Structure 1
Amino acid sequence: MNEAKRDLLNRIKERYNKLSKGQRLIADFIVNNYDKVAFMTASKLGEKVGVSESTVVRFANALNYKGYPNLQKELQELIKTKLTTVQRLELSSNYNDEEFIMKAMQADVDNIIKTIDELDTEAFKNTVDAILKAENVYLLGFRSSIAIVEYLAFYLNMILDNVYIIPSGINDVFDQLIRINENDVLIGISYPRYSKKTIEAAEFAKSKNVKIIGITDSHLAPISDVADIILTTKSTMTSFVDSLVAPVSLMNALIIALGMKEKDKITKRLKDLEETWEKYDIYLNK
């Protein structure tokens, strides 16, 4: 059972007999409809159950949440890997166009702020050190996470000579990893809905004593079970997509940190690149 759901159900079970009649109605409704409640306001939930909004707030407090938004956040963590894209879209159909614009962009801002507040700086430093010490650096991520992999690879290739993307193509992912060994590092990027292939590939690399760096949204994410170092960023579900703004921001920080460590080495390379770009007219010059 998902840890978030277990924790929530345990809270309800432990306190159920002490709840008021109205609060028990809320508890029963959540247990049976947690996927819907995750996107209901306190007012909407109270209306659905037949109690006041203040009763919903008191219910959250009775379960030792700081408020209803905290309870709702736990429910959203629970369902974000379970819902199909169609279900996600249906749950967000109550917002108008203007609300969606503000909701989506504000969620991105909140995700970056929370990522900064919760960033494990020691894990970040260890990630930088592990990458620089590695014989080869393999980047792994599928589905929506491939966008982050490609972005990271683009800039890492300006800094390092040993970066390889594990492609999802004709050859099986395990074929691509057959030469990986204990001197290498594998960076596994895994965000909801978590790709099964990413986890299987990370487990395969782990069996070869490879150091695994997991970049994901939570320490409860599947890749956390095999990773030696975990970096987490917030990735709030907005409609049928997950926000990847905070993960990309973390990649920026990682690239810059590596670049500063290798500053003398990459200065010449960047100059060579600039000359090549100019020679072959890569960029538009007004």
Structure 2
Amino acid sequence: MKRIKMAYPKSKGTQEKLIRFILDYPDVAAFLAIGDLAEKIGISTSSISRAAVDMGYSGFPEMQKEIQQHLRRRILPTERMERAVTKDGNFTFRDSVRNDIENVKKTLSRIPDTLFNDAVTLLSKANEVFVVGLGTQHPSAMYFSGVMKQIRDRVTLISHETTEYFDCFSRISSRDVLLPICLPRYSRFTVHAAQEAEKTGCKIIAITDSEISPTGILADIVLQVEYESMSFFNSNVAVMAVLNALATSVAMEDWEHARERVGKFSEVALNWNAFYQENSGESMGERL
């Protein structure tokens, strides 16, 4: 919305009418089709398209997407929950699953193969891979770092614990890769971690919703994911799908090394009797 607000003082005519409407009724402008928006304001669709380009957007779709992102950042969880409730108040697990399937489909269409392959190459060749994600993204960050540790050496999950945080950023360098997972409402800690990493020349692969998100604008590679949910929290299904694909592809990149590491992990786990086996006798707790 910053570009729209900055353009307003110098705007005239149809552009001024458009900007004034957006600033007054962002909830409406964010979701109307361009024809409906033009009719509501009383200007032509071509005027809207020209105004969007004049403000630095590629066109109306990009401008509208930025308005939507602005709304998502400001909407409180309780408001999101109220908007998600259907008119008759009914909700089924099938609604939620269909929503997640749609998120995955949209995510698949937003990530080109070449971009994904570039991310895999960076993760494979990095001296060290750092992963960060807080809030509802923290479980995804923990999962990815855990799987990657079984595939390759030197993988670190950045914690908000002060000593661990300082330790990570005392050694992070241009030879490393940071993978921040950051969706609305964006974690201040995760954004700060990306900002600090950028200063060192570290490559950044952002898992986020937009190229203009707080981590997206800092990243070398942006893997855009859909996160729409039927409730007050973000859906992480598409995030997990992308992380699974990344981990699998990194393993395939250096299969022999990955197989060796996974074998060592499995051997240690078996030695510790980490997995449940029926009639196996003593438990891990008893051994400890």
TM-score, structure 1 as length reference: 0.75
| Structure 1 pair 108–72 and aligned structure 2 pair: CA distance change class (3 A) | farther
Does the 8 Å contact 1:4/1:78 carry over to 2? no
The aligned residue for residue 244 of structure 1 is 236
Comparing 166-175 with 119-128, greater Cα deviation is found at 166-175
| 1:48-103 C-alpha deviation (Å, 9 max, x unpaired) | xxxxxx9789769x6479xxxx9997764331111111222233345556435343
1:169 is aligned to 161
In the alignment, structure 1 residue 152 sits paired with structure 2 residue 160 = no
| Number of the residue aligned with 1:91 | 83
Cα distance, 1:250 vs structure 2: 0.3
Q: CA deviation at 1:268?
A: 2.8
Say which of 114, 124, 129 aligns to 1:122.
114
Matching residue's letter, 1:229: I
Residue type of the alignment partner of 1:241 = F
Change (3 A) 1:111 1:284: same
Asked whether the equivalents of residues 204 and 220 of structure 2 are also in contact (C-alpha less than 8 Å), the reply is yes
Q: Which residue number corresponds to residue 209 of structure 2?
A: 217
**Could you tell which deviates more after superposition, 261-270 or 220-229?**
261-270
Q: Which residue of 2 aligns with 1:141?
A: 133
CA–CA distance in structure 1, aligned partners of residues 100 and 5 of structure 2: 25
Q: CA deviation at 1:234?
A: 1.3
Are the counterparts in 1 of residues 100 and 229 from structure 2 also a CA contact under 8 Å?
no
Equivalent position amino acid for 1:86 in 2: T
Deviation of 1:280 (Å)? 2.9
1:226 aligned residue: 218
Q: Name the structure 1 match of 2:185.
A: 193
Aligned to 1:273: 265
- Please, which moves more after superposition, 268-277 or 123-132? 268-277
1:259 aligns with 2:251: yes
- 1:157 maps to a residue whose letter is K
Q: How far is the alpha carbon of 1:191 from its aligned partner?
A: 0.9
Kept in 2: contact 1:136–1:162 (CA 8 A):
yes
Q: Which moved more, 1:70-79 or 1:244-253?
A: 70-79
User: Percent of counterpart pairs with the same letter?
Assistant: 26
Q: CA-atom RMSD, angstroms?
A: 3.6
- Are the aligned partners of 2:129 and 2:179 in contact in 1 as well (CA < 8 Å)? yes
Does 2:170 align with 1:183?
A: no
TM-score, scaled to structure 2: 0.74
Kindly provide the CA deviation profile for residues 108-141 of structure 1, in whole angstroms up to 9, marking residues without a partner as x.
1111111111212222111111112211111122
Q: Aligned in 2, Cα 1:270/1:4: closer, same or farther, shift over 3 Å?
A: farther
Unpaired runs of 5+ in structure 1? 18-26, 43-53
Question: Could you say if the C-alpha distance between residues 95 and 151 of structure 1 is closer, same or farther in structure 2, counting changes exceeding 3 Å?
Answer: farther
Structure 1 residues 175-223: Cα deviation after superposition (integer angstroms, max 9, x where no partner):
5312111111111211111112212221111111111111111112111
Contact 1:137–1:184 (8 Å) recurs in 2: yes
Unaligned runs of 5+ in 2: 49-61, 279-288
- Secondary structure in structure 2 of the residue aligned to 1:194: coil
User: Structure 1 residues 96, 160: closer, same or farther in 2, change over 3 A?
Assistant: farther
* Residues 96 and 229, structure 2, Cα contact 8 Å, conserved in 1: no
- What residue in structure 2 maps to residue 105 of structure 1? 97
Instruction: Please state whether the residue corresponding to 1:213 is helix, strand or coil.
Output: strand
When the two structures are aligned, how many residues end up with a matched partner?
Answer: 258
